[in-house]
Amino acid sequence: MTFLRRTLIAVASAAVLSASFSALAQDIKPRLIRFGYGLNEQSNQGRAAKVFADEVARLSGGKMKVRAIGAAALGPDNQMQQALIGGAQEMMVGSTATLVGISKEMALWDTPFLISNTKEADALLDGPIGDRIRDKLQDKGLVGLAYWENGFRNLTNSKRAITKMEDMNGIKLRVMQNNVFLTSFQTLGANAIPMAFSELFSALETKTVDGQENPFNTILSSKFYEVQKYMTVTNHVYSPWIVTVSKKYWDQLSKDEQKVLSDAAKTSRDFERKDTRAEASKAMADLKAKGMQINELSPAEAARMRDKLTKVYAMVAADVGMELWNDAQKELVKIRASK
């Protein structure tokens, strides 16, 4: 055997060996899924992300591994959405409201006073209307797995108690980066300023903005009570979160692996809704104890606001399409009748 021949054989077998080793390594190495979210680990979002990660590990027998990364460490919602679309990140959970620029039908969920209780929320989100809106994401490079509860949104600010619409005049109010929210609060008289959630605490602290709106749970877990004196219980919109997967990543998974992710998303959703509601029911007392001054918006004032927002309803209907808008209204009538 010549030296050259021997060398070639050695190189070739080393290549075969290392190829099979790396195939083996691929097999053993759990699939690492980076699951990003915006709130901190101690929030309802963080607790449910952990349930999701544990459930994926359990269902896959440890073959799939989720690393839940909170506090917008992978970026605010918008940035993570782009990372998912590009295939640079596998999964996230965030507000449907921040997805509207990508998938316009999501704006349905931003309709003020559309949903009036959690029973309606669950039935509408988990039913045909929710599925239809979720499925639209596929054309945009995302796969929506389940809606979690962010919750009914309430107003906080550092200026004054809001007891009537006029009290909102001139309040610099941070809103999510979304036209429906922007227009709604402008219409109600506030000076609405779109901003990523990750910048919100320091913006409140430095008085770049006077107020914001979010569910009880977030006001508590993000410690907004440290920088906001007043809270008004408005329940002006029910805000969902949605668990999404990069379509590029999803398409590489086997059917079984896809099923693990969708089943775990649903298990974590059921946990998350219960956990969020339990926390929300105690939150008002907790926030009072932290020193917030809390008032509830009277039904008469809520009705005045709703009237004022008529043009926003027309705007959402045009944005999502008349057919979807009408079908959603019909579905809600059905849900209400089924009580």
Footprint of ligand TK8 (CB under 6 A): 38-39, 77, 94-95, 98, 150, 176, 197, 214, 218, 239
Smaller CB distance to ligand TK8: residue 181 or 249? 181
Smaller CB distance to ligand TK8: residue 80 or 335? 80
CA distances from 142 to 163, 265, 286 (A): 41, 15, 37
Smaller CB distance to ligand TK8: residue 60 or 178? 178
Could you tell me the smallest distance in angstroms from the CB atom of residue 37 to ligand TK8?
6
Short-list 189, 157, 212, 219, CA closest to 305? 189
Contact between residue 75 and residue 36 where contact means Cβ atoms under 8 Å apart: yes
Could you tell me the smallest distance in angstroms from the CB atom of residue 15 to ligand TK8?
47
Helical H runs in the chain?
3-28, 44-59, 77-86, 118-126, 128-135, 179-187, 200-205, 216-221, 247-250, 255-289, 299-308, 310-320, 322-337
Smaller CB distance to ligand TK8: residue 39 or 260? 39
Contact between residue 215 and residue 151 where contact means Cβ atoms under 8 Å apart: yes
Short-list 115, 121, 149, 152, CA closest to 43? 149
Could you tell me the smallest distance in angstroms from the CB atom of residue 241 to ligand TK8?
6
Phi, psi of 199 (to 5 degrees): -95, -5
Cα separation of 208 and 191, whole Å?
A: 12
Point out the residue whose Cβ comes nearest to ligand TK8: 38
Q: Is 294 exposed, middle or buried (0-12, 13-18, 19+ CB in 10 A)?
A: middle
Could you tell me the smallest distance in angstroms from the CB atom of residue 176 to ligand TK8?
5
Smaller CB distance to ligand TK8: residue 242 or 260? 242
Half-sphere exposure at residue 110, Cβ-oriented, CA atoms within 13 angstroms = 32
Could you tell me the smallest distance in angstroms from the CB atom of residue 36 to ligand TK8?
9
Give residue for tokens 């979720």. Answer: 134
Smaller CB distance to ligand TK8: residue 197 or 325? 197
Smaller CB distance to ligand TK8: residue 60 or 217? 217
Cα separation of 183 and 192, whole Å?
A: 8
